[in-house]
A = this chain, B = another copy of it.
Amino acid sequence: MHNADELLAMIKERRFTALRVAFTTLNPADIAEFLSDDLPEKQLALVFRIIPKDRAADAFAYLEAETREIIINSITDREIADLINNELYVDDAVDMLEELPANLVKRVLATANTETRELINHFLQYPEDSAGSIMTDEFVDLKAYMTVRQAFDHIRKTGEDKETIYTCYVIDANRTLQGVVNARDLMLSNDDVVLRDIMHVNLISATTTDDREYVSELCSRYDLLAVPITDSERRLVGIVTVDDVIDVIEQEATEDFEVMAGMKPSEKTYFRTGVLDLAKNRILWLLLLMISATLTGTVLIHFESAFTVNSLLVALMPMLMSTGGNAGNQSATLIIRGMALGEVEVRDILRVIWVELRVSLICGVLLSVVNFARVMLMYPNEMTVAMVVSVSLIATVVMAKVVGCVLPIAAKVCRLDPAIMAAPLITTLVDVTSLIIYFSVAKLLLGI
């Protein structure tokens, strides 16, 4: 194993043969990290050419978009043509083109041969985040009448360029998907068995326009190594392999984390996103929430008479609001994640409310008792205020938890992303409502 410093030293000392040898033993993912993170930009093209060809193409698929762009910009048309026509899997090529600037896309497509270009153009048309946009057409197709021996021969002849040969697809003359044969079945069967007799016909598949999240759910639920993707007429047009599914699962979780923290999801990693883009992703929600928070001010002005009478009321206010926000956030997070994993459905809404009502009563009463004791301890003469806060606390926690569980489900009904109904929005709503509860109770109990 060579570390980045050793490789950089070889480059500096122009020991290119040693460098080439080093690259033959490095994993493509590690080569990509070296190229993207450690190597100065101006040496990229030089070093990329030193990497053995097949390894260079594999590493290319792992590269950050910016690094790819630099390389494409500095290698010849002929080298691009070789990469795109012979070396890259079509899903990686499409992936790359989706992130390249338009002028480079044009140049790359111009170097592709007609067949590759047509294929890529076709793939580029699938909507973003659809199954079609992440699939590859490099799968093994077999026929039902083939024997295991014939299947093996076919795989040996065509398998080199396939993204996986472990799941093979049986199609008829119209390319309609008829069954699935695993390499495992082939390896454990006799040579003369006909595929029709061993293929699995209870097919799990998605269509090109299905959301990529649906594909990852199928793969995860049924422990598949690849999910077949069909067009609207049930013709097999591609597959999505499990390594891409893992990427989808991680990206979708990251997106949820970002949306739940009130940010526009970023396409790039933290350090790859520029400061301006980072600010742009965050400012919209911050502004929106700040303006919504104006409501809390309006509520407070309305209850001005209450809090000027007793400043302890003001002092205990932030604690009440933040406890409400935390309580609502807990419920919202559980429901949002439960829906993302398919454990909670829209039709469960009443069941969810019933659960949250009981949970919030338990939590609310406990918090309220502790808080009453705490306030009495710190301000022994303010029993009525302690009672106001404690009663408000129960009501706030119950309200916050119900709001927290209902809103994500409501978002789903409205075909919005449930993740937007997380902490930031819930907190703002709970802030306003808890203040109304608080000062109404205060007016009642303190007789203001």
Contact = CB atoms under 8 A, between A and B. Distances in A.
A220 interface: yes
A344 interface: yes
Interface in A164-207: 165-166, 183-184, 187-188, 202, 204
B25 A250 contact: no
Interface stretch (A10-18, A79-87, A271-279): A271-279
A94 interface: no
Oligomer copy total: 2
Contact of A29 (B188, B222, B315, B323): B222
A282 B188 contact: no
B338 A269 contact: yes
A156 B184 CA distance: 9
Interface stretch (A45-53, A70-78, A107-115, A285-293): A285-293
A254 B242 CA distance: 20
Contact of A270 (B329, B338, B367): B338
Nearest to A393: B290
A246 B252 CA distance: 13
A42 interface: no
A355 interface: yes
A349 interface: no
B287 A370 contact: yes
A305 to B, nearest CB: 10
Interface string A382-420: 000000000000000100000000000000000000000
A132 interface: no
Given A245-B246, A261-B333, A270-B334, 15 more contacts: A1-B202, A165-B187, A220-B246, A223-B243, A225-B225, A225-B242, A257-B260, A257-B337, A271-B343, A275-B355, A279-B363, A283-B367, A296-B322, A321-B321, A329-B424
Interface of A: 1, 25-27, 29, 152, 155-156, 159-160, 165-166, 183-184, 187-188, 202, 204, 219-223, 225, 242-243, 245-247, 249-250, 253-254, 256-258, 260-263, 269-271, 275-276, 278-279, 282-283, 285-287, 289-291, 293-294, 296-298, 300-301, 304, 307-308, 311-312, 314-319, 321-323, 325-327, 329-330, 332-338, 341, 343-344, 348, 351-352, 355, 358-359, 362-363, 366-367, 370-371, 374, 378, 397, 423-424, 427-428, 431, 435
18 contacts: A29-B222, A155-B188, A156-B187, A160-B188, A257-B260, A262-B330, A269-B338, A270-B335, A270-B355, A290-B371, A291-B374, A300-B311, A307-B314, A318-B318, A318-B321, A322-B428, A322-B431, A325-B427
